[in-house]
Amino acid sequence: MRNLLFNISYNGARYHGYQVQANAVAVAEVLQDAIEAVLHVREPIVGCSRTDTGVHANSYFFHMKTACNIPCERMVIALNRALPMDIAVHACREVPLDFHARYCCTGKEYLYKLWNSPIKNPFMEHLVYNYRFPIDVERLNEAAQAFVGTHDFRSFCALGGKEIGTIRTIHRFSVKREGELVLFRVAGDGFLYNMVRIMVGTLLTIQEGRLSPDDLPKILEAKDRRAAGKTARAEGLYLNRVYYGGEDIEQLNIHAE
């Protein structure tokens, strides 16, 4: 028995997230279809994270335990031939049998892309959040530092989230401009349901003048979703990097920006 760890990227525009669902097409289902086409057996796979409908991944990991003896390099080639254009396999590596793509993860980095122009970009449809109002990037970057550290992020968790604990540590949060793109980059030890989208949406609510940067500590203390700002749209969000601690696996974050 082998345990294979795969690094992939995907455009989530036409998928209802990563997890297999009964009545909608998900990334995991398409991956299993491709694996079945190559191995002629439907192997179970375990992903590093759930992603919501329309959310993308620059770097995503899943593991699969299998008795197949196909070399990792050939598995990458074979799966890419079987997969649609919006999912790519970048690497495959054999890992110890007790390695778990989700539970061995020590942190993640998300990237949120916002197209900040009165003129929309037709070549980025479903890949960015089109936001036509001016943005003071330096002000929002300064405000975002209130999220850094260990906090109870209950105010930044969507109502209905199933997480038992809501304390998370954010290691860094930056807001930068690259031409018409405004990039929100946040890394932490873990994230609650819709947490990144609510943090970005709350920063945009500050930009719109309906909240102040000084409100952020009070919003954290409130532990109430209603105290925070809006939820930013799903199409701007990317799982960008997954951390496992070992340098050899970190290097597999091939497509991270």
Query: What pLDDT sits at residue 252?
Result: 65
Q: Read out DSSP for 150-211?
A: EEE-GGGS-TT---S--EEEEEEEEEEEETTEEEEEEEES---TTHHHHHHHHHHHHHTTSS
Separation in Å, CA 109 to CA 167, 213, 218? 17, 23, 25
Residue 246 pLDDT greater than 70, yes or no? no
Tens digit of pLDDT for each residue in 161-196? 556 789 999 999 999 999 999 999 999 999 999 999
pLDDT-derived band at 251, boundaries 50, 70, 90: low
Tens digit of pLDDT for each residue in 15-31? 999 988 888 899 999 99
Catalytic residue numbers, as ranges: 52
Nearest to 29 by CA among 5, 10, 7: 10
3-state secondary structure of 107: strand
Amino acid at position 97, single letter: L
Q: Whole-angstrom Cα distance, residue 109 to residue 242? A: 6
Q: Mean pLDDT of all residues in the chain? A: 93
How far from the centroid of its chain's Cα atoms is residue 101's Cα? 14
Residue 217 backbone dihedrals phi, psi, to 5 degrees: -60, -35
Query: What pLDDT sits at residue 224?
Result: 94
Domains (range + CATH), the chain? 2-104 (3.30.70.580), 107-239 (3.30.70.660)
Say what the pTM is.
0.94
Q: Whole-angstrom Cα distance, residue 39 to residue 27? A: 18
Tens digit of pLDDT for each residue in 106-163? 999 999 999 999 999 999 999 999 999 999 999 999 999 999 999 999 999 987 655 6
Q: Whole-angstrom Cα distance, residue 171 to residue 150? A: 9
Tens digit of pLDDT for each residue in 37-48? 999 999 999 999
